[in-house]
Structure 1
Amino acid sequence: MKITYFFRHPKVGHSIHRVFRTILQELNNSLEIETHDVPNIGSMPIDIIRNNLYTYKKRDQKAIHHVTGHIHDVLLSLIGVKTVLTVHDLVFLDNVKNPFKRFYKWLFWLYLPIKLADKVVCISNQTKNNILKKIDTKKLSVIHNAVDPIFKHTPHDFNEDKPVILHIGTGWNKNLELTIQALNNVSCHLRIIGKISELQTQLLINNHIDFSNESNLTDEQIKQEYINCDIVNFPSKYEGFGMPVIEGQQTGRIVVTSKIEPIIEIANDAVAFVIPNDVNSLRNTYLKIIKNPIFRNNIIEKGLTNAKRFSVETIALKYINLYQDLDKE
């Protein structure tokens, strides 16, 4: 069985490539795999046309075609062949205020792609439920993202005097600003991964935070950041999945994260939950983790168990079953 995967242009972002690369390495043992990156970065009409022309040229009547996310509109060029679409989240629609742009994205990124796809994979139940609120369809199934096997349980002596708190991401939804405020006068080192703004830098200085910052790290460097830290900090305001939660659990670190969906679904009560807009919730949780080793170790053990649900072998098998079902139709 041959599966042809279509990815967005790498310059848009590597997160989808990274998620599927992990799965494809496992699937390559049992399937014939071909991958393509579309040539255009944007989502304007000219980009849709060029990306669809490219996709049409790469279609294969004998293959199953899997659009891996973001470039949902290329389903327009795959009419007549077997197709799978992965939808990661609906942030592309939910954050649009302009009614014309919203309709445009609803039509070309959601409604038509879902109507045209043979099967639609959602990476969380929240994404599935959000789609069902907008479109009535029976094509949806949930297959979670797989954790990269490079993340392995690495025992570590927790630094109670000055723990390293690893914060992943600096965008609007990653809640770095509230984290900084919550850590005022807490003895720790805040390790921030991602480009920080001038305002964030000033906030760090004003709150007397001992911090360091890196960006554009390789996967191996990211793995080492998890190993070096004592706490993984991920108190997001919005997420489509929340891979750092699983990566932290797999490494054997306690994870602080938000009690919101889909993180509740992904974390499986094996984290230290916080209320993402409550600075006292964050602060009290950090202090509890630092001062209470029984609480800390209990959460870490639960996390190691939970991470097994996202092993590449488990997730790859779910995709194989999906492809086999479609191949029979």
Structure 2
Amino acid sequence: MKINYFFRNPKVGHSIHRVFRTLIKELDTTLDITIYEVSCVGSMPIDVLKNNIFTYKKKNKHAIHHITGHIHDVLIALIGVKTVLTIHDLVFLDNVKNPFKRCYKWLFWLYLPLKIADKVVCISDQTKNNILSKIKTDKLEVIHNAVDPIFKFSKKSFNQERPVILHIGTGWNKNLDKTIKALEEIPCHLRIIGTLNELQLQLLKMYNIDYSNRFNLTDEEIRLEYINSDIINFPSLYEGFGMPVIEGQQTGRIVITSKIEPIIEVAGNGAVFVDPTSEKSISRAYKKVITDNVYRLDIIEKGLVNAKRFSVKNIAKQYVELYQNLAKT
């Protein structure tokens, strides 16, 4: 069976590439896979046109074409062949206030792609339900993201005196500002992965936070960051999935995260949940995790069990079944 994967231009970001690279490596043993990356970064009409021309030229009536995300509009070039679309979240609609942009995104990123695609994979029940609240369709199927097998359990003595708190991501939704304020007067080292802006730097100085910062890390460097940490901090305001939750669980670290969907769905009972809008809630979680050894170890054990749901073999099996069923139609 031949599968053609289409990715956005890597200059836009590597998160989707990273998630699917894990899956494709597993699937490549049983499927005939070709990977394409569209040529244009932007989403202006000329970019959309060029990306659709690129996609049309790669069209193959004997293959299943899988659009991995972000470039939903290239499905227009794939009318008449078998297609799968992955929708990670609806942030492209939920966060757009301009009515014209919102209408454009709704039409070309949601409505038409849903009409054209044979199957639509949602990475969480939350994404599925969000789509169904806007458009009724029977094409949706939930398949979670797979956790990269490079993340393995790594035993570490918890640093109760000055734990290393790993915070991944500095975008608006990653809630670093609230994290900084919640850590006031808690002895720790805050390890931040991502580019810091001026306001975040000012807050770190204002609240006298002991921190270090890195960005543009390789997969191996990210793996080591998890190993060297004591606490994984992920109190996001909005997520399509939440990979750091299961990466932290699989490494054997305590995870503090938001009591919102889809993170609740992803984390299971293997994380400490907080109200991401409340500094007091986040701060209480830190103090509980740092001081209560029994509680911490219990959550870590539950996290290790939960992470098994997202093993690459389990997720790859679900994709193979999806492709096989589609090939039969």
TM-score normalised by structure 1 residue count: 0.99
Q: How does 1:14-163 map to 2 (within 5 A)?
A: 14-163=14-163
Structure 1 residues 258-267 or 91-100, which shifts more?
Answer: 91-100
Matched ranges for 1:173-192 at <5 A: 173-192=173-192
Match of 1:242 in 2: 242
Q: Name 1:316's counterpart in structure 2.
A: 316
SS of corresponding position for 2:172: coil
Q: Does 1:2 align with 2:2?
A: yes
The CA deviation at 1:82 is: 0.3
Distance 1:173 1:14 in 2: 17
Whole-angstrom distance in 2 between the partners of 1:239 and 1:280? 21
Aligned to 1:220: 220
- 1:301 and 2:306 are equivalent in the alignment: no
- Partner Cα distance (1:98, 1:183) in 2: 36
| Superposed displacement of residue 199, structure 1 | 1.3
Amino acid at match of 1:69: G
Q: Deviation of residue 12 (structure 1)?
A: 0.4
3-state SS of the aligned residue for 1:320? helix
Q: By how many angstroms is 1:208 displaced?
A: 1.2
- Match in the other structure for 1:171: 171
Per-residue displacement from partner, 1:181-202 (whole Å, max 9, x unpaired)?
1111101000000011121111
Match of 1:207 in 2: 207
C-alpha distance in 1 between matches for 2:103 and 2:97: 10
Amino acid at match of 2:286: Y
Q: Which amino acid aligns with 2:252?
A: G
Distance in 1, Cα, partners of 2:235 & 2:250? 18
Q: Secondary structure at the match of 1:134?
A: coil
- Asked if 1:253 is matched to 2:253, the reply is yes
1:45 Cα deviation (Å)? 1.1
- The Cα shift of 1:269 comes to 1.8
State how far apart, in whole Å, the 2-side matches of 1:269 and 1:175 are.
22
Separation in 2 of the partners of 1:205 and 1:99?
A: 39
Aligned pairs, how many? 329
Shift of 1:206: 1.1
Distance 2:102 2:207 in 1: 39
Corresponding position: 1:193 with 2:176: no
Structure 1 distance, partners of 2:162, 2:49, is 54
Shift of 1:4: 0.3
Give distance in 1, aligned partners of 2:34 and 2:142: 23
List runs of 5+ in structure 2 lacking aligned partners: none
Q: SS in structure 2 opposite 1:237?
A: coil
Distance 1:201 1:208 in 2: 11
Quick check: 1:287 aligned with 2:293? no
Deviation of 1:86 after TM superposition, in Å, equals 0.3
- In 1, Cα distance between equivalents of 2:278 and 2:220: 33
- Secondary structure at the counterpart of residue 114 of structure 1: helix
Using the TM superposition, give the Cα deviation of residue 42 of structure 1 relative to its aligned residue in structure 2, in angstroms. Answer: 1.0
Question: In 1, Cα distance between the equivalents of 2:105 and 2:202?
Answer: 37
Matching residue's letter, 1:249 = Q
Secondary structure in 1 matching 2:79:
coil
> What is the CA–CA distance in structure 2 between the aligned matches of 1:35 and 1:143, rounded to whole Å?
20
Residue 177 of structure 1 aligns to a residue whose secondary structure is helix
Unaligned runs of 5+ in 1: none
Aligned to 1:166, what secondary structure does the other structure show? strand
CA distance in 2, matches of 1:18, 1:164: 25
CA separation in 2, counterparts of 1:183 and 1:94? Answer: 30
TM (norm. structure 2) is: 0.99
Identity %: 68
Cα distance between partner residues in 2 of 1:48 and 1:84: 19
Q: Distance in 1 between matches of 2:199 and 2:38?
A: 36
* Secondary structure of 2:178's aligned partner: helix
Q: Which amino acid aligns with 1:258?
A: S
Q: Deviations over 1:16-71 (max 9, x none)?
A: 00000000000001000000000011111111111010000001110000000000
